[in-house]
Every structure is written in structure tokens, then in C-alpha cells.
């Protein structure tokens, strides 16, 4: 079989993809910045371990806490009577899904009135040199398949 003979599905992004993507990322940034500026970014974890936890693996322990915190912050933004972010829905992603949190924002478009953002929560540590500096490696096959299903 030759490449020229393959029947390939060509994903096509919506005309307003860039505008919607920018709107979602800026809204997420505003929500998180507001949470940090109002000192709601502290997670207290108490343990009875006298020597603490090993810092080289703290991201594996912290990840679920950070994910729960982020979900809580987005949920609070949704429930806020002064919800200036146009956030209309917050859902926890399904287990093993690429998105840990799914957000929907009100935005008038040609065919709909909402845009959806999928959030993949990651944890890093400022105490570990170069933590969070490397890109997150996700399976190319998973990303490619998701892009073919929904190019936006």
C-alpha cells in the first residue's frame, strides 16, 4: 500500500478556533490569577511522618491534590453570583481521560453558544531543580486520535 492511496481523514478546525481558544485560555488564566491573588492557592496536607515525604516523588502525591484544588476553584467561579468569566459548566474528567477538568464558557458562535476547554492538571515543585521545565509527554496516538475526532 502506498501513501498516495491512503484515505486520510483531514481534520478541519472551526473558523473561529483561534478566537475561542484564546478566550478560553485567557479566562482560565483570570480565574487562576484571581484565586492566587486572593490567597486561595494554599493546600495544607498534614502527615504523621516524622521525616516527611520524599521530594523526588512529591509530584505523584501532589497531583491529585492540585487537581482537586483546581476543580474547586473553577466550581467556586461557576457558583459565584458575580461570575464575570461567563463560565457555565464545570465537570471532572473521566478517569484516564486526557482532560482532568472540562470547562464550558458562554460564547456566541455560528453554531453554538458555548465553547469547551479541556484542562490537563499538572503538578510541579519549586523545591526540585528543573521541575516543570520539561514538556509533558503524552502519547502521540492519543493526541492524534483526539484531534481527528475534534480538531477544536
Q: What's the pLDDT score for residue 137?
A: 60
Is the pLDDT at 102 greater than 70? The verdict is: yes
User: How many domains does the chain divide into?
Assistant: 1
Question: Would 127 be classed as within a structural domain?
Answer: yes
Residue 78 sits in which domain range?
13-41+55-149
Contacts 24+ apart (CB under 8 A), 25-29: 25/117, 27/85, 27/86, 27/87, 27/105, 27/117, 28/103, 28/117, 28/119
Question: Would 29 be classed as within a structural domain?
Answer: yes
Residues 7-25 pLDDT 10s: 888 889 999 999 999 999 9
Give the three cell numbers for residue 66: 492540585
92 falls in which pLDDT band (50, 70, 90)?
A: very high
Q: What is the mean pLDDT of residues 64-75?
A: 95
Question: Would 47 be classed as within a structural domain?
Answer: no
pLDDT greater at residue 51 or residue 96:
51
Amino acid at each position: 500500500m502506498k501513501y498516495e492511496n491512503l484515505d486520510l481523514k483531514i481534520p478541519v478546525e472551526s473558523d473561529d478556533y483561534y478566537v475561542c481558544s484564546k478566550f478560553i485560555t485567557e479566562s482560565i488564566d483570570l480565574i487562576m490569577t484571581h484565586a492566587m491573588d486572593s490567597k486561595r492557592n494554599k493546600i495544607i496536607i498534614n502527615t504523621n511522618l516524622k521525616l516527611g515525604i520524599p521530594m523526588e516523588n512529591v509530584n505523584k502525591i501532589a497531583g491529585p491534590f492540585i487537581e482537586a484544588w483546581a476543580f474547586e476553584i473553577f466550581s467556586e467561579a461557576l457558583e459565584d453570583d458575580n461570575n464575570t468569566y461567563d463560565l457555565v459548566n464545570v465537570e471532572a474528567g473521566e478517569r484516564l481521560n486526557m482532560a482532568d477538568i472540562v470547562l464550558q464558557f458562554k460564547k456566541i458562535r455560528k453554531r453554538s453558544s458555548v465553547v469547551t476547554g479541556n484542562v490537563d492538571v499538572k503538578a510541579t515543585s519549586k523545591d526540585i531543580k528543573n521541575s516543570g521545565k520539561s514538556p509533558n509527554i503524552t502519547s502521540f496516538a492519543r493526541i492524534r486520535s483526539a484531534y481527528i475526532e475534534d480538531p477544536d
